[in-house]
Amino acid sequence: MSRRTPREGLDKQDLRQFAGGHEILINPTEEDICKALAGVQRRCRKNLLSSEEALEVYRQVALDGASAAHAGLRDCPARFDFGISMTVVQAARLAQDLVGCSIGRILVLPGQAATPPIWADPVEDPGLWFNQVVTSFWTHLTDIQITSLRQYAVTNAMELAARIQWSQGSEDGARRAGARRRLQLQALFKRTEPVYMPELSLALRRIAQTLEENGQESVDWRTFQRQWPSIAARYKRDLLGVFRGGHAQTSNLAVASGDTSRYFLNFTTWSGAQRVVRATQIVFQICSRGLLAGVLSGSAAKDALCQDLRRLGQNSFHPVTPETVGWLRVHVDDANRLCFVDEVQSDVMEYLLSLGGEDAEGTELVREFADWQTHGFSTVQHWAQCIGYRVAVHSQESAGFIEGKTASDRKWNVYYRVLIKRFGLIEAQIGGYPAAIFVQV
């Protein structure tokens, strides 16, 4: 189905400004392409493209399986006194059911080389590919489609990484490893918004499973407090809706949900420095809905701090977005059937802590975001369980073997020690790791 209408909230003036005079088409018909090309080239005389040339670009992607194609690009020799204007058509496969097409005029100055808007490979460099696609087509994509694009890029990158890890074996083994990784990631992407699993939701599912195994159809509040004191104490207010008349049905515990109003989940991949194994890792980004909206409260000072935090994410070299509170880098260890958390980190928390206790808004946000890593870890653990793996994390000794990793007792205590204690991980020697690590029982 052709989609030429811009995303909700953009008027014609906004569209002209953001699209830069280009015609943006999603899943166009050939008639749409010819009409858009004619409009772009109206009153232009030089360096034009024919309808057949534009259609050939689209067919290479839509019919022949190319990830991207383009026509019309020319370099401008340095000896020229003036730049060259030209018509450029690009088509790109955005997802299994989405093809984007961009048609417009560009100016290439003397000595410059013309490059297509989308040149990154969605498998080899999914992060750059995603940024290029969103930059080119976001005016005509819905939020749901943009989320799907991110998932598509992450899945491709992780599948390739699995194939590479098994490439020294048989070709069939590498193919099966890639297919298995794709299925594993589909467990994360069951819904439009990825599966975010707060600590309370995960804990109640495990408690319900224990009760079912013991043949208990319900549990009273006093027994619940005695058997699971930490969950009862931390989430007493949330549990009031589940315990009616002092009792909770096991079936209700199994489907009860923790607070999903503050955080949501995004993904990317990481193949840079400080990895326990030289394999592409999946990054779980725990994001704040307040940072996404750009508003954290009615306080002007707090909202100004929110904008500072968004700029921090925009300028970071870490695997974050402007709304990311913190991230967990995960190595999927097929040999030991582990989802190994190689890094737990937060630029936002580090920045807020650097402000010191004199900044009231910063201190309040430190308290507000203090549980981000707990919910992030429970999300990773839930996925690990879905694919039949266990979750694991560094010990201080194993982390010390990672080249370039900063040794910090404060970070260890704030991020890692808390998770080890709260989730009951035990220290164990596991093959392939430089020292003992902590593993889910």
- Helices marked H in 70-198 — which ranges? 126-137, 143-165, 171-186
Q: Report d(CA 11, CA 20) in Å as an integer.
A: 14
Q: What is the pLDDT of residues 182-226, one digit of tens each?
A: 878 877 775 545 578 999 999 999 999 999 999 999 999 999 999
Coil, helix or strand at residue 248: strand
Query: So what's the pLDDT on residue 298?
Result: 63
User: What is the distance between the alpha carbons of residues 186 and 224, in angstroms, rounded to a whole number?
Assistant: 34
| SS3 track for 337-393 | CEEEEEEEECHHHHHHHHCCCCCHHHHHHHHHCCCHHHHHHHHHHHHHHHCCCEEEE
* Contact present, 167 and 185 (Cβ < 8 Å): no
Q: How far apart are CA 143 and CA 15, in angstroms?
A: 17
Burial class of residue 158, CB neighbours in 10 A (0-12, 13-18, 19+) = buried
Domains of the chain by residue range = 12-112, 199-255, 263-439
3-class state of residue 99 by DSSP: strand
CB 235 within 8 A of CB 201: no
The CA–CA distances, whole Å, from 108 to 7, 47, 53, 76, 111 equal 29, 12, 20, 6, 8
Highest-pLDDT range among 21-35, 124-138, 172-186, 190-204: 21-35
How far apart, in whole angstroms, are the C-alpha atoms of residue 260 and residue 80? 59
The more confidently predicted of residues 330 and 176 is 330
Q: Distance (Å, rounded) from C-alpha 440 to C-alpha 361?
A: 36
Q: pLDDT at residue 12 above 70?
A: no
Q: What pLDDT is attached to residue 16?
A: 65
pLDDT-based confidence at 269, cuts 50/70/90?
confident
If you average pLDDT over every residue of the chain, what do you get? 87
- Residue 7's pLDDT is 66
Q: What is the pLDDT of residue 167?
A: 66
- Predicted local distance difference test score (pLDDT) of residue 5: 58
pLDDT at residue 230 tops 80: yes
Contacts 24+ apart (CB under 8 A), 191-195: 192/144, 192/147, 192/148, 193/147, 193/264, 193/265, 194/147, 194/151, 194/265, 194/266, 194/267, 195/265, 195/379, 195/382, 195/383
- Order across the sheet with 390-393: list the strands: 263-270, 281-288, 324-333, 338-345, 390-393, 437-439, 426-428
What would the pLDDT profile of 351-394 be if each residue is shown by its tens digit?
998 887 777 888 888 888 999 999 999 999 999 998 899 999 99
Q: Which two tokens stand for residue 308?
A: 């500072």
Token pair in block for residue 106: 């560009």
Q: What is the pLDDT of residue 10?
A: 66
Give the pTM: 0.73
Burial 124-138 (b: 16+ CB within 10 A, else e): ebbbebbebbbebbb
Q: What percent of the chain has pLDDT over 90?
A: 48
Phi/psi of residue 363, each to 5°? -65, -40
- pLDDT grade for 174, boundaries at 50, 70 and 90: confident
If you average pLDDT over each of 66-75, 156-165, 274-283, which comes out highest?
66-75
- Cβ atoms of 110 and 82 closer than 8 Å: yes
pLDDT grade for 173, boundaries at 50, 70 and 90: confident
Q: Is the pLDDT of residue 422 over 90?
A: yes
| 3-state secondary structure (DSSP) of residue 266 | strand
Q: Is the pLDDT of residue 2 over 60?
A: no
pLDDT of residue 396: 92
Flag whether pLDDT at 67 surpasses 70: yes
pLDDT tier, 125 (very low <50, low <70, confident <90, very high otherwise): confident
pLDDT in tens, 281-340: 999 999 998 887 766 666 788 888 888 998 998 888 898 888 999 999 999 999 899 999
Check residues 202 and 179 and name the one with the higher pLDDT: 202
pLDDT value at residue 192? 43
328: left (phi over 0), alpha (psi -120 to 50) or beta: beta
| pLDDT tens column, 84-100 | 999 999 999 988 788 99
pLDDT category at 1 given cuts 50, 70, 90 is very low
In 3D space, the residue among 127, 126, 102 whose CA is nearest the CA of residue 116 turns out to be: 102
What token pair was written down for 256? 């009860």
In angstroms, the CA 73 to CA 70 distance is: 8
Q: Tell me the mean pLDDT in the region 395-414.
A: 84
Q: How is residue 27 annotated by DSSP? A: S
242 near 248, Cβ under 8 Å?
yes
Share of the chain above pLDDT 70, in %: 92
- For β-strands 426-428 and 437-439, DSSP reports them as antiparallel
